[in-house]
């Protein structure tokens, strides 16, 4: 699904950015990881929902999952 129509990126690209980077905590950081900037801002809420979903679903992930490791590091930093 297309998340951002201004920058044309999908939910898969957001999830890939979360899995491949450390410490992404905000929609702004997701934009930077994807090499763009917010324009109209309507997608920020959807990006936040994906962030929350990935962080919440990591309790069941195997240890070798990059998203699980990201979630563990983020929780430890808080």
pTM metric for this prediction: 0.69
Half-sphere exposure of 6 (CA within 13 A, CB side): 12
Helix (H, G, I), strand (E, B) or coil at 10: strand
User: Does residue 78 have a pLDDT over 70?
Assistant: no
User: What would the mean pLDDT of 16-39 be, rounded to a whole number?
Assistant: 88
* Segments in the chain forming alpha helices (H): 11-20, 27-33, 44-57, 66-77
The pLDDT-based confidence of 75 (bands split at 50, 70, 90) is very low
């Amino acid at each position: 699904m297309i998340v951002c129509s201004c920058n044309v990126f999908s939910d898969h690209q957001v999830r890939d950015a979360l899995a491949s980077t450390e410490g992404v905590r905000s929609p702004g950081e997701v934009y930077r990881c994807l090499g763009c900037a917010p324009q109209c801002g309507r997608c920020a809420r959807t990006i936040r929902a994906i962030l929350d979903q990935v962080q919440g679903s990591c309790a069941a992930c195997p240890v070798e999952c990059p998203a699980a490791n990201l979630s563990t590091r983020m929780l430890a930093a808080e």
